Amino acid sequence: MVWDVSRRLYEEACQVIPGGVNSPVRSGRAVGMTPLFIREARGSRIVDEDGNEYIDYVASWGPLILGHAHPGVVEAVRTAAGKGTSYGIPTELELRMARMVVEMVPSIEMVRMVNSGTEATMSAVRLARGVTGRGKVVKFNGCYHGHVDSLLVKSGSGVATLGIPGSPGIPHEVARDTVSIRYNDLGAVREVMDAMGGEVAAIIVEPVAANMGVVLPREGFLAGLRELCTQHGALLIFDEVITGFRLAEGGAQQVYGVMPDLTCLGKIIGGGLPVGAYGGKREIMARMAPSGDVYQAGTLSGNPLAMSAGLATLQVLKEEGIHEQLESRAAYLAMGMAQAADAAGVKVFQTRVGSIGCAFFTDRVVQDFETAQSSDTRAYAAFFQEMLKRGVYLAPSQFEAFFISAAHSQDDLDRTIEAAKSALGRVKQLEAM
Ligand SMILES: *Cc1c(COP(=O)(O)O)cnc(C)c1O
């Protein structure tokens, strides 16, 4: 397999784009590679500029639950584009989208569309501060909520991958109002809330943490957060940018039966176009301008192109009952990977819920960012490279999820497991060297 064209494009891109990429997670640095440049994609497959084809488990980092270039989504976008891409004036599509979200997500009664997950979390935090009149926000180590100043503290995803401690450019005054706690440590949350609950506007959490690899909430963790928020008059914000519409129609809140005050959505809701949304109880959401006094706006928010792609995706999810199929395929893949690791004698801790999961290269039980960091990232890098050579594209970081889409066929999964068997064998050999 040669990557000559990708390498040349990368070198040229580095001259005009910082690090050659428009989002740091795309850099191959953590796995000792330069990034692939992709020419096209269809279904479960991506094709790079050198003509190599891969089974793709990144799926644009989550949005493409139906796979690449799903015919229904492509058709919806094409039709919408022909009628104008944005008006800055309301459309019926926005109403249909809002109704769809209210119908699907149990805790949402009103919703506002924005253009990214980052905008959704930023706006939800502002709303929580506006409603409570308080300043502090509690988050969890290794959770990623976009690159919002106040939430980029002990953050997951690219920040974890590249080992960046927060970021320069975030004022102390802003970071000081953020308290970050070990994920799954309800006792520590209770201590913080007992000490300063009266100053806390919100607790924001990924109900399944999917930006430090995939870490599942312990039994009672989410319900405990719900209880503490209610007790101290703080809002509970679920960041369901990854889990929304993915774990179930109604996201993680449906699966775990815990209702937040506000929910942040993104990724799948845009069907591959840039979209985010936040929603929740009517009396809270009504505080947003123009019905209320908390301000947030967007030139392209709710534009017909993005709404069409999102609606087409959500419609398929609702009508075709795809989640059961995703669950069984993902379970099959995870089992195959675990067997491959066993056979190769490589220690791996597997996590999975629905169609997201992670194989941590560690012999410890991973339940928070601290244990996730016990992973052997060099072994993961070797695994990534060996899989790539065998035509499988995994996330170029140990601290990211794998995403299965409805386009992954049984044959794709079998090929992936076969590739993993030989790749893990090679990883074991390299470890011994
Ligand atoms: C991706 C992600 C975000 C940020 O969304 P963008 O569209 O990249 O701004 C926020 N929260 C979570 C949980 C995410 O996975």
In order along its 433 residues, the chain shows pLDDT tens digits of 999 999 999 999 999 999 999 999 999 999 999 999 999 999 999 999 999 999 999 999 999 999 999 999 999 999 999 999 999 999 999 999 999 999 999 999 999 999 999 999 999 999 999 999 999 999 999 999 999 998 988 887 777 676 665 788 888 888 889 999 999 999 999 999 999 999 999 999 999 999 999 999 999 999 999 999 999 999 999 999 999 999 999 999 999 999 999 999 999 999 999 999 999 999 999 999 999 999 999 999 999 999 999 999 999 999 888 999 999 999 999 999 999 999 999 999 999 999 999 999 999 999 999 999 999 999 999 999 999 999 999 999 999 999 999 999 999 999 999 999 999 999 999 888 7
Judge if the beta carbon of residue 403 lies within 6 A of ligand 1.
no
Ligand 1 atom 15: the closest Cα is on which residue?
242
Predicted local distance difference test score (pLDDT) of residue 162:
67
Judge if the beta carbon of residue 155 lies within 6 A of ligand 1.
no
State yes or no: is 149 an active-site residue: no
- CA-nearest of 287, 132, 151, 248 to 197 is 132
Judge if the beta carbon of residue 400 lies within 6 A of ligand 1.
no
Q: Measured in angstroms, how far is the CA atom of residue 285 from the centroid of ligand 1?
A: 21
The structure tokens listed for 360 are: 């941590």
Judge if the beta carbon of residue 426 lies within 6 A of ligand 1.
no
| Number of Cα atoms under 13 Å in the Cβ half of residue 237 | 32
Ligand 1 atom 5: the closest Cα is on which residue?
117
Predicted local distance difference test score (pLDDT) of residue 432:
83
Domains in the chain with CATH codes:
4-69+320-432 (3.90.1150.10), 71-317 (3.40.640.10)
Judge if the beta carbon of residue 123 lies within 6 A of ligand 1.
no
Ligand 1 atom 14: the closest Cα is on which residue?
241
Q: Measured in angstroms, how far is the CA atom of residue 162 from the centroid of ligand 1?
A: 17
Predicted local distance difference test score (pLDDT) of residue 247:
98
State yes or no: is 347 an active-site residue: no
Exactly one of 136, 139, 154, 267 is catalytic; name it.
267
Q: What are phi and psi of 2, to 5 degrees?
A: -110, 150
Predicted local distance difference test score (pLDDT) of residue 255:
98
Predicted local distance difference test score (pLDDT) of residue 165:
59
